[in-house]
Amino acid sequence: MARPVPPSARLLPWVCAGSVALVAWGSHANTLSHGFVSDDRPYVVDNPAVRGPGSLRHVSPSWWKAARTEQRIGGFYRPLPILTFRLDRGGAAPHEALDPAPFHRTNVLLHALAAVLAWWLARRLARSDTAALVGGLLFAAHPVHSEAVAWVSGRAELLAATSALACLAIAAGLSDAPARRRPWLVAAAALLLVLALSSKEGAVALAPILWLLIRSRSGLRSLAASGILLAFAWGLCAAHVALVWWVRAGVPAGGLGSFVDNPLWAEPWAVRAGTALAVLARGAGLLVWPASLSADYSHRSIPIARWILEPAPLMGLAVFALLAWAAARCLRGRDGLSFPLALALLAWLPASNLIVRTGTILGERLLYFPSAGLCLAAGVAGARLSARSRLAHRAVLAATLALTLAGLARTVARNRVWKDEETLLRATLAAHPENVKALRALGSLLGRRGERGEALRLLDRALEVHPGYAQGHADRGACLIEAGRIAEAEAALRKALELHPGQAAVWSNLGVCHVRTGRLEEAVRCFAEAARIDPTLRNARENLARTLEALGRPPDRKKE
């Protein structure tokens, strides 16, 4: 006769899950009063898919046709984040200012859910409450997650990781489920896979991750339900890769990536591979010791590795070899630490620049899902050590508590950097003084505020670091217009157009220069070109109309 389970034992998992959720919420509760920063404006605030009238165009087949012709879309297909942004928008009209609080609240809730799912997956994998608690708490409080949670545009990472962790937890429990429930569990896991792919392209890593999970656990290898789920995962991920590849083939190269965002963009594969390994070493270092964090790692933030035998690529190669060895152990049916480490490797690969070029060389948000593997591995290791003796068990719990409190304090402090645009940019420059994107963005921000002296100093510094930075010349020209230095502004704007002719705002600003100097016919040509490139650019259309009226040629209202 089986011994009855005491009430305290039945209550323990709920207490642990609640503790993990509470730590996750507490780590990021101070972001609820933050505003929109960085790319939140193009991705959320000014995104017509978020601000426009009720429409599901972004999830319909017509989206794919548009994605091949509209450079601003950039080949991404992420309907689930867009749908959640629309829900966060609430009843705000398209012309009303958005309240950032609901957006941040959703991000924090998603992180708390992801932490609980990491706890659940660890419990399923290790069959240990200790492993689950250690892994869940470390994931909940890890400081490297600050970017994904505190930044509204990090929503894609949160949704993809949440869906992926839930899918893996369900798959890991198939062997323990009654036969009659398995078809429903497979359907749920398949739906979660669809949601993950609808959040971010990197979720294609779920197919090989599921494969290794099934291979590493004897109870799953012989199940028909596991085979059906795996076949669906491979087929869906292969179709998604083919579709995204087709979309991106029709997007101009400038719409997919740039040298400034990813210095590896034009480099040969050997240089990309060496630097990607160096980035892997840096990413692993951030996961183990997140003392120095940054919101941007673009041009001049990470040295390019020209030779694979440099120290940084060699360190990355050692990390890669360790994780690949763990994946190989999964193929031989070895469980334990092997699968979580293999998960970390496979989750990192899509954004690594090893397989395909990506839009960025490194972003801490890209470590969100891979970090789950490392935290789960720490949980498994902690459970093994804890099982040796009561003293060891207490030591593991004490160490987990200390790491959780340290991580929580570091995360809360790091989140303050994300409260507004200026704070974020100044923190980025403190970490990487020659980061041209931060120099340009802060200069542009200060210029709009009227602090033109410091603005021009920052913009000039950005162009010293990268003379071919088109956006830097464009922003410098706009700042010089406000300062009344029209001749210098015109030279800067012409340089920006020489580097990148398709900038509507630059053509419009050049037209303003011509109006200031009395060259109205040239101004008309510039405003017309700006309106042709971007018909939604209102100031270009209005300036064109005013200039034509000044010339005695009323504008054609039908064309407008």
pLDDT digits (tens, 9 = 90+) for 124-142: 999 999 999 999 999 999 9
pLDDT tens digits along 231-245: 999 999 999 888 877
pLDDT tens digits along 305-355: 998 889 999 999 999 999 999 999 888 877 678 999 999 999 999 999 999
What pLDDT is stored for residue 286 in this prediction?
97
What pLDDT is stored for residue 66 in this prediction?
47
> Considering only CA atoms, which of 526, 529, 511, 519 is closest in space to residue 551?
519
Spatial contact of 496 and 506, defined as CB atoms under 8 Å apart: yes
Q: Give yes or no for residue 4 having a pLDDT over 80.
A: no
Q: Report the interhelical angle of 470-482 vs 452-465 (nearest 10°).
A: 160
Confidence of residue 156 (pLDDT cuts 50, 70, 90): very high
Q: Is the dihedral of CA 223, 228, 233, 234 positive or negative?
A: positive
Spatial contact of 167 and 192, defined as CB atoms under 8 Å apart: yes
**Domains, the chain, with CATH or none:** 15-418 (no CATH), 421-550 (1.25.40.10)
pTM across the whole model: 0.93
> Considering only CA atoms, which of 233, 197, 195, 198 is closest in space to residue 213?
233
Q: Give yes or no for residue 558 having a pLDDT over 70.
A: no
Average pLDDT over residues 102-114: 98
Spatial contact of 43 and 153, defined as CB atoms under 8 Å apart: yes
Query: How many C-beta atoms surround the C-beta of residue 75 within 10 A?
Result: 22
Average pLDDT over residues 107-117: 98
Of the listed ranges 100-114, 205-219, 327-341, the least confidently predicted one is 327-341
Q: What is the C-alpha separation between 164 and 198, in angstroms, rounded?
A: 11
Burial of 304 (0-12, 13-18, 19+ CB in 10 A): middle
What pLDDT is stored for residue 314 in this prediction?
96
Degrees, nearest 5: CA angle 272-204-347 = 60
DSSP for residue 246: H
Instruction: Return the residue matching tokens 């704070």.
Output: 423
Q: Give yes or no for residue 471 having a pLDDT over 70.
A: yes
Alpha-carbon distances of 440 from 151, 284, 419, 443, rounded to whole Å: 20, 29, 19, 5
Helix (H, G, I), strand (E, B) or coil at 91: coil
Q: Give yes or no for residue 424 having a pLDDT over 80.
A: yes
What pLDDT is stored for residue 22 in this prediction?
98
Q: Give yes or no for residue 495 having a pLDDT over 90.
A: yes
What pLDDT is stored for residue 255 in this prediction?
52
And the tokens for 251? 């997007």
Confidence of residue 63 (pLDDT cuts 50, 70, 90): very low
Q: Give yes or no for residue 454 having a pLDDT over 60.
A: yes
pLDDT tens digits along 503-551: 999 999 999 999 999 999 999 999 999 999 988 888 899 999 999 988 8
And the tokens for 389? 């003796």
What pLDDT is stored for residue 75 in this prediction?
52
